[in-house]
Structure 1
């Protein structure tokens, strides 16, 4: 077979309200640069360098990262190190914006973590595992969750990640903070997603509920 499956941990992020009329093309370019920079730094915090992952795949208003199997980078690090660091960076960035710039340049992300077999050809990556991750990331329930919380990041993990990683409560992971609030259908099967709002980010946010809100949610 010319295209054998490759196992990867899957992380993808997507910007909230990237199509808002307030987001001009130059501002979109700025925000894309910030997302890549933050993701690089969060990867480093989790011990994931260029040798442990495939090149990032651009998704326009998001990024797909595929992490190769490595005993030095267990999947737990994605949840206990990478996601908290990414959330912290988002808080710092948003708090550093002048209040009148937050509607245009505020940055909030949805994220998904999954794992499975993928394929790669001359055009990029594909496979059912990626379909599951992308459907979970784009689920309306996850978008509504981000709209309803002050934190600048919400995470959804697949059923596989919940059952093999989260529920065991490995160091830095609190199962009680994950909730089965997302369901999508892929390849004729119902897939469950477990939603998590990083508490580390919530602790850094002032009590002003408008700190990261104020954009037109109809242009999500």
Structure 2
């Protein structure tokens, strides 16, 4: 039958035989030998309240979000060659950054996030009731890192599961609702302990609070949310305890 498979029409309920072309290439089985994990820094964003907007407004906000992301990356020095292509998520974007010496993860926390926050504030000014509806863009941002797989249909893996669970956590959504800032940043426990707590330039550990706790594949993961107001407050004198530093930061606000 030259690669064609015959299905008996009587047994299947059809009046005659049905010919199915089985000569095309078969998809390879995905086994452990085909899974090649790639280490990536993970940054994902999600627009607040996107489902409540009309489709034309969604289209406008998506266009602006991509433009502002590209501008923030350009100002940070993270060029297109340093990143995998953007992965669209409908009301958000996933960005995977390659592990290159010129793109340390510190750049994502500072200056990328502050630059993006500033661009959003600039864009949002005067758009509260533009053309009869709220056209402001407020976003949640997550930063994580880990092994990512791609099977030709898309990216997947535990590291992405953790990142998106942190991004979509009720605590992150609540933090954005409570702040006047245009974005809220949540980082994974791995990012906090490998980057944040060391206090690299522009990154203040006392401005992060472990507000998110979730379980993925049987493990407990924490998420640390940045208090942007505390991060912008004057740095407290050295030698103080972390608790005193947080209290001073709140009073400054």
TM-score calculated relative to the size of structure 1: 0.87
Which residue is 2:222 aligned to? 192
1:81 aligns with 2:105: no
For residue 47 of structure 1, report the CA deviation from its aligned partner.
1.4
What is the deviation of 1:42? 1.1
Q: In structure 2, the residue corresponding to 1:190 is in which secondary structure?
A: strand
Aligned to 1:30: 60
Equivalents in 1 of 2:198, 2:231: separation in Å?
Answer: 23
Shift of 1:48: 1.1
| Cα distance in structure 2, aligned partners of 1:56 and 1:69 | 16
CA deviation map 1:138-161 (0-9, x unaligned):
001110110001101000000000
Residue 54 (structure 1) aligns with: 84
SS in structure 2 at match of 1:105: coil
In the TM superposition, what is the alpha-carbon distance from 1:198 to its structure 2 partner? 3.1
Which of 39, 43, 67 in structure 2 is aligned with 1:11? 43
Q: 1:165 aligns with which of 186, 195, 220?
A: 195
Q: CA RMSD in A?
A: 1.7
* Aligned-partner Cα distance in 2 for 1:114–1:128: 11
The question of whether the paired residues in 2 share the 8 Å contact of 1:91 and 1:201 is answered with: no
Larger RCO (CA within 8 A; separation ≥ 6): 1
Which range moves more in the overlay, 188-197 or 10-19? Answer: 188-197
Structure 1 runs not aligned, ≥5 long:
204-220
Q: Deviations over 1:109-156 (max 9, x none)?
A: 000000000101111100000000000000011101100011010000
Contact 1:151 1:202 in 2 (8 A): no
2:137 aligned residue: 107
| Structure number with larger C-alpha Rg | 2
Change (3 A) 1:107 1:81: same
1:2 aligns with 2:2: no
Q: How many residues align?
A: 200
Deviates more, 1:46-55 or 1:155-164: 46-55
Structure 2: runs of 5+ lacking an equivalent: 1-32, 234-253
SS of the aligned residue for 1:10 comes to strand
Shift of 1:106: 1.1
